[in-house]
């Protein structure tokens, strides 16, 4: 574990995601701060336990036409970025710059075939990342979303990646969906193929229309919904995955703005969480703020360690 001289250590908040040890359970989610190393470094300096890079592929992608992000009522966002990225060759120096400063970096990989996923993942591993998160779940890149909803295809990708990444933990990021049984099947297939953690969820497929122009708000037409609107869906996904008895840790993502939101994910069964939209719409100190709120919660409830909360939601004794 790399210690962060800008943030005071609180042993009650330290967590382990398999072999990856973090100072606290909050992680910068992929993509929201773009591709420069500065975004990764500043999130870590604010107190993120780790940071995930922008999703990167083998070759550069220009992404979708604008507008690419629009704000909705109630702090939620719609985006259809289309995974713009400079390609792994150009992006590696940015990732290495963050790794060199001691930032715990998780690389996010994309590929058009299982082999391509494996090539990108192995290059990320050589740059010094702690783990690789496979993005099989972007809702505005059709082929990826379909891949991520298919257990056999996901298992193929994971098998190839695990074979090329020399024991570095591989995480899989599930698509945003309310088809919970299917998400469980995908997670189980990925676990059998060797992933070290399940990340749930990516943005949810959605549409927003400008009633004056009668056209979609986003340049790509459809997009992905993120922020507080998706939190109950992602919390339910985490709970269903936890109840399914996976042996690997679950990382919850979607709509986290406060320390209390983090606790909710832990109670549902998560070991850690990622924060995306919250970093964009709240002040840039969201990690230090949630960290303090988590610590206060532990003190108030006389809980020795944050991991005691994982999966501790109380049963209401009703089975609808």
Site for ligand FMN in 256-295 (CB under 6 A): 256, 275-278
For position 32 contacting ligand FMN by CB under 6 A, the verdict is yes
Element (H, E) at 170: strand 170-173
Nearest distance, CB of residue 226 and ligand FMN, angstroms: 3
81 touching ligand FMN, by CB under 6 A? yes
**Measured from the CB atom, is 34 or 163 closer to ligand FMN?**
34
* CB neighbour class for 19 (10 Å; exposed up to 12, middle 13-18, buried from 19): exposed
In order, the DSSP letters of 113-144 are SHHHHHHHHHHHHHTT-SEEEEE---TTSHHH
CA gap 279, 257 in Å, rounded: 8
Nearest to residue 297, comparing CAs of 269, 271, 270, 258? 258
Distance CA 50, CA 15 (A): 11
Q: Of all residues in this chain, which one has the CB nearest to ligand FMN in the complex? A: 31
Among 174, 186, 253, 309, binds ligand FMN (CB under 6 A): 253
Residue 197: which H helix or E strand, with range?
A: strand 197-200
Q: How many residues does the chain have?
A: 320
Which residue numbers are catalytic? 138
Q: Is residue 26 a contact residue for ligand FMN (CB under 6 A)?
A: no
Give the phi and the psi of residue 86 in degrees, each rounded to 5.
-80, 0
Q: Which is nearer to ligand FMN, 32 or 147 (CB)?
A: 32
CB of 300 to ligand FMN, least distance (A): 25
Number of chain positions touching ligand FMN (CB under 6 A):
27
| Binding flag, residue 140, ligand FMN (CB under 6 A) | no
Residue 203 binding ligand FMN, by CB under 6 A: yes
Output the smallest distance, CB 121 to ligand FMN, in A: 14
Angle of helix 88-100 versus helix 114-126 axis, rounded to 10: 30
Q: Is 147 in the site for ligand FMN (CB under 6 A)?
A: no
Question: Contact between 135 and ligand FMN (CB under 6 A)?
Answer: yes
Regarding 39 and contact with ligand FMN (CB under 6 A), the answer is: no
Select the span of 35-43, 75-83, 124-132, 289-297 touching ligand FMN (CB under 6 A): 75-83
Among positions 26, 30, 37, 177, the unique one binding ligand FMN when judged by CB under 6 A: 30
- Position among 37, 42, 108, 310 found at the interface with ligand FMN (CB under 6 A): 108
If residue 286 lies in a helix (H) or strand (E), which one and from where to where? Answer: helix 286-300
Rounded CA separation 279/300 (Å): 26
The answer to whether residue 29 forms part of the interface with ligand FMN (CB under 6 A) is yes
DSSP string, 10-61: -GGG-EEETTEEESSSEEEPTTTT-S-HHHHHHHHHHT-SEEEEEEE-SS-B
Residues that bind ligand FMN (CB under 6 A): 29-32, 54-55, 69, 77, 79, 81, 83, 108, 135, 173, 202-203, 226-227, 230, 253-256, 275-278
């Amino acid at each position: 574990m790399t210690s962060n001289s800008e943030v005071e250590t609180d042993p009650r908040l330290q967590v382990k995601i398999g072999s990856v040890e973090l100072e606290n359970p909050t992680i910068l989610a992929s993509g929201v701060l773009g591709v420069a190393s500065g975004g990764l470094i500043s999130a870590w300096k604010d107190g993120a336990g780790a940071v995930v890079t922008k999703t990167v592929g083998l070759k550069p992608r220009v992404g979708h036409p604008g507008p690419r992000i629009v704000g909705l009522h109630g702090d939620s966002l719609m985006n259809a970025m289309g995974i713009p990225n400079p390609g792994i060759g150009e992006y590696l120096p940015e990732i290495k710059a963050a790794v060199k400063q001691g930032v715990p970096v998780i690389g996010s990989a994309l590929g058009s075939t299982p082999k391509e996923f494996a090539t990108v993942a192995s290059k990320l591993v050589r740059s010094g990342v702690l783990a690789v998160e496979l993005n099989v779940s972007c809702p505005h890149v059709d082929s990826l979303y379909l891949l991520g909803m298919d257990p056999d295809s996901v298992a193929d990708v994971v098998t190839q990646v695990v074979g090329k990444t020399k024991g570095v933990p591989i995480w899989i990021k599930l698509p945003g969906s309310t088809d919970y049984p299917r998400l469980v099947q995908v997670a189980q297939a990925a676990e059998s193929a060797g992933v070290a953690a399940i990340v749930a969820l990516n943005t949810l497929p959605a549409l927003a229309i400008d009633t004056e122009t009668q056209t979609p708000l986003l340049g790509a037409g459809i997009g992905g919904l993120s922020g507080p609107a998706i939190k109950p869906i992602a919390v339910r996904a985490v709970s269903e995955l936890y109840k399914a008895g996976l042996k690997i840790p679950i990382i919850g993502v979607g709509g986290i703005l406060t320390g209390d939101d983090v606790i909710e994910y832990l109670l549902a069964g998560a070991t850690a969480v990622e924060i995306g939209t919250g970093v964009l719409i709240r002040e840039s100190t969201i990690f230090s703020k949630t960290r303090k709120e988590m610590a206060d919660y532990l003190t108030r409830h006389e809980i020795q360690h944050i991991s005691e909360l994982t999966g501790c939601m109380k049963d209401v004794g009703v089975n609808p």
